[in-house]
Amino acid sequence: MIFRAVEDADLIQKARRGNVDAYNLLVSRWERRVYNYLLRILGNREDALDLTQEVFLKAYQNLRKLEDAARFAPWIFRIAHNEAYSLFRKRRPESDEEVPERSDRGVTVGGTPVFPIELTLAVASALDRLSPEQREAVVLKIYQGFKFEEMGEILSCPVSTVKSRLYTALELLKADLAPAVKTRGVE
Amino acid sequence: MNCSPFDLRDYVLAELGESGRRSVEEHALSCAACREELERLRLTQTALLCVPDEEIPQRVAFVSDKVFDPSPWRRYWASFWASSARLAFAASAMLLVAAFVWSRPAPVVVPSPAPWVDLAKLEREFDARIQAPIAKAVADSEARQEKKNEETLRAVEKRYEMDRKSLMLAMDENLSLMQMRMGTMVLATSGGAGERP
């Protein structure tokens, strides 16, 4: 883990000096995670791919503003978060509430199903019932594995807010999903 | 709610340290309610992870274009402004220089004594250089004006005399004409009376 962090920092240093190959290598390490984060909160593959490209372009243009190379992960996800919400605002400029409306509901997330399709549908449905902020907190924690502190950095809010959103989401998901999992015997 | 020493959600979400994790696990061995809650949380997490990440449909890559690459100087300049540490150092250095410059004592300027002035002499010189030419200019102007007035007066008198002469001449002519008419009338009257008996 530490070795990987050092390598990323090295690539960032090279990219800052204009080494595009180093930056491409860095992108190849993070593009899947950024794409899936955007896909899970946008619910649309095309938008997720477009924004992923936009995120890495912006990151390259602002790479010199990243003071601590070890904080690259929260930094790049912060850019992705901003891009996603910028897209929501663009799509719904008249709305006061920044509610990301997932364009495809249900089965867009996930590749070849290795679990029962009913369970995949139940998960997608349960995630859809969450508020956008709660869903994003779940995505960052469960799927991306960020710590509370990093999530606060990405979402630009206090850790207490992050915890509150996540705990509420977990309670809702637990009520929806735990019985379904138990009856299907998935461990 | 549960009676665990630490939040069970933090345990499942891997936010606890090693000692915290051990405390929760030990507690769960002896507490059925917490054990059950832990199981529900784990099942929820497992269900969520049933939906795995997708492969990105198209790789993201950038190409280098030397035309648009910033020069090394511009890169340094950009990195300078991007680094708050360097900016802070530069600001401190400038502040230090400013403080040094302003703290230096200003050079004392000793005023030289004013020279002694002879006011009477100054007045005389003033009269000689300024007053005399002014008085001369005023006198010349007055003389010119007087001469002009005299010329105007003479012209007026001359014109008056001419008008008067022409008037007298006209009166003489009128008088002569009247005398001639009266003479003619007298002759006519006397001639008519002699013919009548």
A115 — contact with chain B (CB < 8 Å)? yes
Contact B133, B127 (CB under 8 A): no
Residues A49-84 pLDDT 10s: 999 999 999 999 999 899 898 899 999 999 999 999
Whole-Å CA distances, B129 to A91, A132, B104, B137, B142: 90, 97, 50, 13, 21
User: What CATH architecture is A1-104?
Assistant: Orthogonal Bundle (1.10)
Candidate from A20, A32, A178 with C-beta closest to B40: A178
In this prediction, residues B165-177 reach a mean pLDDT of 88
pLDDT at A67: 86
Closest residue, chain A, to B82 (C-alpha): A65
Min distance A124 CA to chain B CA atoms (Å):
8
Please answer yes or no on whether B46 and A186 come within 8 Å at the CB atom.
Answer: yes
Chain B residues with CB under 8 Å of A111 CB are 52, 54-55
Nearest CA in chain A to B1: A171
DSSP letter for A129, please.
T
Q: Residue A55's pLDDT is what?
A: 96
Chain A residues 68-107 with a CB less than 8 Å from chain B? none
Q: How far is CA A170 from CA A109, A126, B4, B41, B161, in A?
A: 19, 11, 18, 8, 133
Q: Report domain extents, chain A.
A: 1-104, 105-187
Give CB contacts under 8 A, 24+ apart, made by A104-113: A104/A43, A104/A44, A105/A43, A108/A39, A108/A43, A108/A44, A108/A45, A109/A39, A109/A40, A109/A43, A109/B51, A109/B54, A110/B51, A110/B52, A110/B54, A111/B52, A111/B54, A111/B55
d(CA A147, CA B169): 136
List the structure tokens of A32: 């899947």
Q: Which two tokens stand for residue A78?
A: 């912060």
| pLDDT tens by residue, B136-162 | 999 999 999 999 999 999 999 998 998
Whole-number pLDDT of residue B52: 86
pLDDT digits (tens, 9 = 90+) for B81-118: 666 777 788 888 888 888 888 887 776 666 665 666 78
pLDDT reading at B67 higher than 90: no
Q: Does B1 touch chain A (CB under 8 A)?
A: no
A39 to chain B, any CB pair closer than 8 A? The answer is yes
Percent of chain A with pLDDT over 70: 79
What CATH number labels A105-187? 1.10.10.10
Query: A107-115: long-range contacts at Cβ-Cβ below 8 A with a sequence spacing of 24 or more?
Result: A108/A39, A108/A43, A108/A44, A108/A45, A109/A39, A109/A40, A109/A43, A109/B51, A109/B54, A110/B51, A110/B52, A110/B54, A111/B52, A111/B54, A111/B55, A114/B50, A114/B52, A115/A186, A115/B50, A115/B51
pLDDT tens digit sequence for A121-138: 889 889 999 999 999 999
Mean pLDDT of chain A: 85
So what's the pLDDT on residue A187?
47
* pLDDT per position as a tens digit, B26-63: 999 999 999 999 999 999 998 999 888 889 998 888 88
